[in-house]
């Protein structure tokens, strides 16, 4: 027999968005449309950057990878993401990156949403890149080189089409099977695709160069001679101490744009440069308080590492997007006794219920 | 139609322990038995303290309360807890403290368990107090004063019976309704109960004094004259900057035992003392590397703030306890594409499935 008064109340139930429901949301709205919406939420939050409580992410490193917590908060909401990065996972059929996150009320501390974020992280990373591209890429850019055809690649392509008008892609991956996978997915989406034999050849004629490789080491995906005047570099993969993608000489020729300097100095491409090397904070560009692209021959570099505020924006988007739909399920995650001081009494009453 | 190959694989599903199942676990095993088991797991982890990656918890404070993340890791597992503390919540029928947590594999970064921790935090806090009492309380102690009859009170009583042999309780709360609630719950469990009109009278004849009040301020629940020679003080409620329960003079007469000094100096009773005031780390006592109680007239003080390692131990316990039972449900929290690099392909395939 079920005593309804002992069933969890609405207060005890946390709305949960599963992977299956995140995929339904994408299919219902269209991935490009979601990327555009995400970019809007992210831009809104970047423009009120000083309102946020910010901290570099908290990382636990091991031989195999890293697990990170990424919290941030404004006056109304608290958000955090759990995310791992384990490059060797792929060999055993696991994802390199998985993630989930929570948005909570600052007034009560109660979670308002628990969401898968493996797919959502890929989306918010791409949406951020596309948004930044809108401020920094050369006008009329149509061709993007995509170096690294892993899990992030197609999302980058779609975001740069949705937000910057890119239609032609030059793909390169060290593993031809990965390039084939990306080409197959992207052709189906109407992109004009060139498969390139080397990273060097992939950048020919590209106005935007996106690097999104996954090796946990100091690699040199781009050498100095590969980067011509006027391009925008969207450097995604260098996002961990000891993990970079660009030769330091490229950094010295570029204007470098970053999310949150205290974190990027530790994790980004600029970990190769002195602590005081000048960088430009993107939120200032988005508020019109710092210049973005100012000259045709300028090399702009987005040294992306991923910051908690974009995850916060993404969770805000999901909370709004699933409201009133069946794409969210109630999860019995919080204890909710009738008398909040009588947590102990719940145990005895639940025993009565089971009997 | 369901294409089984598109259903989430075992790798994508995270075992989830709901509040309802945590309550079932307690009723199936008995709360005192669980407290004893938890104390064993906690003691095991305290005895290998140097193996853990440790950090003070990461707090987001607001006018109404605090939201915290408490991560820790050893070579094999990573654990974190999300926990809030909002003293004003009670007025609106919400819990002061709610929590949930995750245990994950360091090798893959994949979560192994998502669990409710509102109930589990109450248990682990009490189990830690009882365990510490076993090292510090005077021999043959039978009487405990319990000041503060909120959500934590009954758990403390049970833990001190299970682990230290306490049978008689002297209860006081500023709100008589809270004292009545606790007395009702505890009489039913076979304790001999005295309801006290003041904090002062509650400590008469008690060998152990437990303070577990919830106000977010520097309060003086115990004044110096209330604490006689030889007692053990179990100070639970002072666990936040600006939130203490004991008069500083008591601290100066006591030997002070702490979980993790860098956190306790910020959050514990000792925030009232100079930075270099001597404290004894409990893990050293449990390893026999530092003395516990050494004299009959010694005042011992456990300045409890709650540290991530006890949550880690509690999650280890739950993972073991629910294994092979129906008290755990699979949660579709992680994306798991057939090809780990083809996250994007999942979206299109899931659309096919829905059609």
Higher model confidence: residue A200 or residue B220?
A200
What pLDDT, on a 0 to 100 scale, did the predictor assign at position A109? 96
Residues contacting residue A324 through CB under 8 Å, at least 6 positions apart = none
Chain-chain contact of B84 with A69 (C-beta, under 8 angstroms)? no
- pLDDT per residue as tens digits for the range A23-43: 999 999 999 999 999 999 999
Q: Is A320 a catalytic residue?
A: no
Q: What percent of chain A has pLDDT over 70?
A: 96
Q: Tell me: pLDDT of A94 over 90.
A: no
What pLDDT, on a 0 to 100 scale, did the predictor assign at position B1? 33
Chain-chain contact of B332 with A153 (C-beta, under 8 angstroms)? no
Average pLDDT (B343-351) is 87
A320: phi then psi, degrees, rounded to nearest 5: -70, -40
**DSSP state at residue B240:** B
Q: Tokens 């300097």: give the residue.
A: A261
**Hey, which residues does B81 pair with through a beta bridge?**
B70, B101
- pLDDT per residue as tens digits for the range A259-276: 999 999 998 999 999 999
Taking a C-beta distance cutoff of 8 angstroms, is the pair A160, A144 a contact? Answer: yes
Q: Tell me: pLDDT of A192 over 50.
A: yes
Taking the Cβ of residue B59 and every Cβ of chain A, the question of whether any pair is shorter than 8 Å is answered with no
- Can you tell me the distance from the alpha carbon of A284 to that of A280, in angstroms, rounded to the nearest whole number? 8
Chain-chain contact of A332 with B154 (C-beta, under 8 angstroms)? no
Average pLDDT (B36-51) is 98
* Full strand arrangement of the beta sheet holding B232-235: B192-195, B168-172, B143-147, B208-211, B232-235, B299-303, B254-258, B280-281
What pLDDT, on a 0 to 100 scale, did the predictor assign at position B56? 85
Q: Which of B55, B86, B181 sits opposite A109 (nearest CB)?
A: B86
Using CA coordinates, name the residue in chain B closest to A70.
B69
* Residue B134: how many other CB atoms lie within 10 Å: 16
- pLDDT per residue as tens digits for the range A124-164: 999 999 999 999 999 999 999 999 998 899 999 999 999 99
The catalytic residues of B are: 239
CATH 3.30.1780.10: which residues of chain B?
8-119+310-345
Q: Which of A80, A109, A150 sits opposite B84 (nearest CB)?
A: A109
Q: How far is B256 from chain A (nearest CA, A)?
A: 29
Taking the Cβ of residue B189 and every Cβ of chain A, the question of whether any pair is shorter than 8 Å is answered with no
Residues contacting residue A30 through CB under 8 Å, at least 6 positions apart = none
- Can you tell me the distance from the alpha carbon of A209 to that of B75, in angstroms, rounded to the nearest whole number? 38
Taking the Cβ of residue A1 and every Cβ of chain B, the question of whether any pair is shorter than 8 Å is answered with no
- Can you tell me the distance from the alpha carbon of A53 to that of B223, in angstroms, rounded to the nearest whole number? 37
Q: Tell me: pLDDT of A5 over 60.
A: no
Q: Tell me: pLDDT of A92 over 90.
A: no
Q: Which of B104, B149, B354 sits opposite A67 (nearest CB)?
A: B104
What pLDDT, on a 0 to 100 scale, did the predictor assign at position A226? 92
Q: Which residues of chain A lie closer than 8 angstroms to B74, CB-CB?
A: none
What pLDDT, on a 0 to 100 scale, did the predictor assign at position B91? 86
Chain B interface, mutation test: which of A315, A344, A348, A352, most B Cβ atoms within 10 Å?
A344
Residue of A37, A239, A303, A311 with catalytic role: A239
Cα angle B61, A66, A238; round to 5: 100
For residue A95, the surrounding DSSP H or E stretch is none
- Can you tell me the distance from the alpha carbon of A21 to that of B156, in angstroms, rounded to the nearest whole number? 42
Looking at domain B8-119+310-345, its CATH superfamily turns out to be ornithine cyclodeaminase, domain 1 (3.30.1780.10)
Q: Which residues of chain A lie closer than 8 angstroms to B185, CB-CB?
A: 342, 344-345, 348
Residues contacting residue A326 through CB under 8 Å, at least 6 positions apart = none
Chain-chain contact of A181 with B149 (C-beta, under 8 angstroms)? no
B25: phi then psi, degrees, rounded to nearest 5: -60, -45
Taking a C-beta distance cutoff of 8 angstroms, is the pair B267, B335 a contact? Answer: no
Residues contacting residue A220 through CB under 8 Å, at least 6 positions apart = A245, A246, A247
- Check if CATH label 3.40.50.720 holds for domain A132-306: yes
Portion 305-344 of A in contact with B at CB < 8 A: 331-337, 339-344
Q: Tokens 């110096």: give the residue.
A: B224
Q: Which residues of chain A lie closer than 8 angstroms to B11, CB-CB?
A: 93-94
What pLDDT, on a 0 to 100 scale, did the predictor assign at position B216? 63
C-alpha dihedral over B148, B154, B156, B162, to 10 degrees? 160
Q: Tell me: pLDDT of A206 over 70.
A: yes
Tokens of A213: 């490789």
CATH 3.40.50.720: which residues of chain A?
132-306
What pLDDT, on a 0 to 100 scale, did the predictor assign at position A8? 66
Q: Tell me: pLDDT of B71 over 50.
A: yes
Q: Which of A24, A104, A154 sits opposite B344 (nearest CB)?
A: A154
Q: Tell me: pLDDT of B200 over 80.
A: yes
Q: Tokens 């909002």: give the residue.
A: B86
Taking a C-beta distance cutoff of 8 angstroms, is the pair B74, B51 a contact? Answer: yes
- Can you tell me the distance from the alpha carbon of A351 to that of A144, in angstroms, rounded to the nearest whole number? 62
pLDDT band for B95, please (50, 70, 90 cuts).
Answer: confident
Using CA coordinates, name the residue in chain B closest to A16.
B333
What pLDDT, on a 0 to 100 scale, did the predictor assign at position A216? 63
Q: Tell me: pLDDT of B4 over 70.
A: no
- Can you tell me the distance from the alpha carbon of B234 to that of B303, in angstroms, rounded to the nearest whole number? 7
Q: Tell me: pLDDT of A291 over 60.
A: yes
Higher model confidence: residue A220 or residue B137?
B137
CB pairs under 8 A between A and B: 256
Chain B interface, mutation test: which of A90, A100, A101, A109, most B Cβ atoms within 10 Å?
A109
* Residue A277: how many other CB atoms lie within 10 Å: 12
- Can you tell me the distance from the alpha carbon of A210 to that of A198, in angstroms, rounded to the nearest whole number? 14
Chain-chain contact of A104 with B94 (C-beta, under 8 angstroms)? no
What pLDDT, on a 0 to 100 scale, did the predictor assign at position A353? 60
pLDDT band for A21, please (50, 70, 90 cuts).
Answer: very high
Please tell me the least confidently modeled range out of A1-10, A21-30, A305-314, A330-339: A1-10
Q: Tell me: pLDDT of A79 over 60.
A: yes
Average pLDDT (A54-80) is 94
Please tell me the least confidently modeled range out of A38-42, A69-73, A86-90, A301-305: A86-90
CATH number listed for the domain at residues B130-306: 3.40.50.720
Taking the Cβ of residue A67 and every Cβ of chain B, the question of whether any pair is shorter than 8 Å is answered with yes
- Can you tell me the distance from the alpha carbon of B163 to that of B105, in angstroms, rounded to the nearest whole number? 31
Which CATH architecture describes the domain A4-119+310-350?
2-Layer Sandwich (3.30)
* Residue B229: how many other CB atoms lie within 10 Å: 10
Taking a C-beta distance cutoff of 8 angstroms, is the pair B312, B45 a contact? Answer: yes
Chain B interface, mutation test: which of A327, A347, A349, most B Cβ atoms within 10 Å?
A347
Please tell me the least confidently modeled range out of A15-24, A313-322, B83-92, B281-290: B83-92
**DSSP state at residue B269:** G
Residues contacting residue A67 through CB under 8 Å, at least 6 positions apart = A59, A60, A82, A83, A84, B73, B78, B104, B106, B109
Closest CA to A316 of A32, A81, A12: A81
CA distances from B127 to A123, A139, B34, B151, B260 (A): 43, 64, 9, 15, 17
CATH 3.30.1780.10: which residues of chain A?
4-119+310-350
CA distances from B253 to A239, B96, B127, B147, B292 (A): 50, 32, 26, 20, 15
Taking the Cβ of residue B181 and every Cβ of chain A, the question of whether any pair is shorter than 8 Å is answered with yes
Q: Which residues of chain A lie closer than 8 angstroms to B153, CB-CB?
A: 344
Average pLDDT (A226-248) is 90
Chain-chain contact of A55 with B58 (C-beta, under 8 angstroms)? yes
Taking a C-beta distance cutoff of 8 angstroms, is the pair A115, A22 a contact? Answer: yes
């Amino acid at each position: 027999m079920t005593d309804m008064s002992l069933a969890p109340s609405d207060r005890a139930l946390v709305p949960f968005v599963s992977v299956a429901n995140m995929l339904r949301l994408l299919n219902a709205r269209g991935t490009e449309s979601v990327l555009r919406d995400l970019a809007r939420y992210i831009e809104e939050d970047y423009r009120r950057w000083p309102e946020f409580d910010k901290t570099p992410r908290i990382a636990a490193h091991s031989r195999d990878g890293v697990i990170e917590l990424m919290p941030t908060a404004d006056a109304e909401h608290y958000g955090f993401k759990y995310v791992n990065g384990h490059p060797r996972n792929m060999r055993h059929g696991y994802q390199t990156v998985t993630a989930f996150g929570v948005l909570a009320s600052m007034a009560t501390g109660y979670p308002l949403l628990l969401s898968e974020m493996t797919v959502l992280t890929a989306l918010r990373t791409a949406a951020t890149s596309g948004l930044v591209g809108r401020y920094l890429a050369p006008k009329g850019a149509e061709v993007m080189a995509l170096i690294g055809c892993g899990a992030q690649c197609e999302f980058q392509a779609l975001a740069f089409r949705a937000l910057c008008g890119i239609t032609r892609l030059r793909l390169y991956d060290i593993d031809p099977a990965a390039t084939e996978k990306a080409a197959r997915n992207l052709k189906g989406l109407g992109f004009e695709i060139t498969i390139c034999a080397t990273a060097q050849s992939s950048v020919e004629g590209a106005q935007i160069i996106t690097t999104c490789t996954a090796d946990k080491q100091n690699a040199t995906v781009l050498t100095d001679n590969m980067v011509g005047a006027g391009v925008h570099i969207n450097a995604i993969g260098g996002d961990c101490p000891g993990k970079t993608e660009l030769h330091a000489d490229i950094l010295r020729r570029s204007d470098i744009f970053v999310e949150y300097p205290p974190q990027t100095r530790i994790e980004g491409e600029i970990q190769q440069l002195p602590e005081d090397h000048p960088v430009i904070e993107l939120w200032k560009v988005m508020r019109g308080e710092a210049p973005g692209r100012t000259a045709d021959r300028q090399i702009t570099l987005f040294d992306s590492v991923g910051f908690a505020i974009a995850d916060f924006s993404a969770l805000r988007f999901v909370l709004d997007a699933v409201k009133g739909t069946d794409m969210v399920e109630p999860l019995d995650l919080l204890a909710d006794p009738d008398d909040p001081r009588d947590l102990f009494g719940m145990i005895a009453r639940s025993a009565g219920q089971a009997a």
